[in-house]
Amino acid sequence: MSKNAEGLAAQIKAIAGGAPVRVGLILGSGLGHIADAVDGTAIPYGDLPGFPHAGVSGHNPDLVIGDLEGVRVAVFGGRSHYYEHGKADAMRLPLEVLRALGAEVMIATNAAGSMRPDMPTGSIMCLSDHINFSGLNPLIGEPTDARFVPMMDAYDPQIRASLRAAADATGTDMADGVYAWYSGPSFETPAEIKAIATLGADAVGMSTVPEVILARFLGLKSAAISTITNMAAGMGDEAISHEHTKAMAPIGAAKLETVLRQFLRDLK
Ligand code: HPA
């Protein structure tokens, strides 16, 4: 854990209270409203030196610490993506801070394109595993042997089972599937989508994978849920654009929020 992260955690505790955080949530495109539901303190990323300037429209850059369904959470209202600056480890400091705040669990959310006809726009998908289609890694340059992180069960089986139970209890349709990380910022070509689907991925997006690698490195259990905002390139007639992603995210986001709230109620 870096000194910087310890210092930021102390600063955050002084503002938001010192009770340990249990769960960290990273919000993807169009999911920012979940932060508004937290009863707590919002700290702009700009007040936290070293935090990314989450400049992608659709992301709201506050860290919100407080209570959601009776569980103390840290909600990251924005993430940094590799495509913004070419740094795969841009979320390392925020995740180190999450660990220093006492969290044991990180749940990432994202918007993604679907390669599965039975998982159309508006669906949600609980990640069972991922394919790093980018060749990048947030731990390149990490000097210690801790960099050799095992990625078996990277998406924690127990947390996935709890998310599944929460979906079932609330009557929410949630698929299971493999997510492929594509660097972006351009979207994929139809030929790339065909290749990614052939390799075994069910959905594709531009985030989450580096965060899950970092979370495992830091000893955080991780899970992730995608909201499907479009059929991937060549798989449907939808126009694929960031505008479309933001417009479609709320459909899945409502389901995602239902599942997350039930998950937290069960955790309490
Ligand atoms: N590809 C990559 N990222 C995405 C997509 C997509 O089709 N939809 C939303 N994020």
Report the distance separating Cα 45 and Cα 66, nearest Å: 16
Strand 175-181 and strand 105-114: the pairing is unpaired
Structure tokens at 184: 């972006």
Q: Give the burial string for 40-58 (b: 16+ CB within 10 Å, else e).
A: bebbebeebeebbebebeb
CA of 231 to the centre of ligand 1 (A): 8
Q: Give the burial string for 69-78 (b: 16+ CB within 10 Å, else e).
A: bebbbbbbbb
**Which residue is catalytic, options 29, 114, 123, 222?**
29
Read off the pLDDT band of 3 (50, 70, 90).
confident
Q: Which residues contact 149 (CB under 8 A, 6 or more apart)?
A: 139, 213, 216, 217
> For ligand 1, is residue 240 a contact (CB within 6 Å)?
yes
* pLDDT tens readout for residues 5-59: 999 999 999 999 999 999 999 998 778 888 889 999 999 999 999 998 755 554 4
Look at the chain and count its residues: 268
Catalytic (active site) residue 206: yes
Catalytic (active site) residue 186: no
Cβ neighbours around 206 below 10 Å, total = 26
* pLDDT tens readout for residues 59-101: 448 999 999 999 999 999 988 899 999 999 999 999 999 999 9
Read off the pLDDT band of 122 (50, 70, 90).
very high
Catalytic (active site) residue 81: yes
pTM: 0.95
Report the distance separating Cα 107 and Cα 221, nearest Å: 8
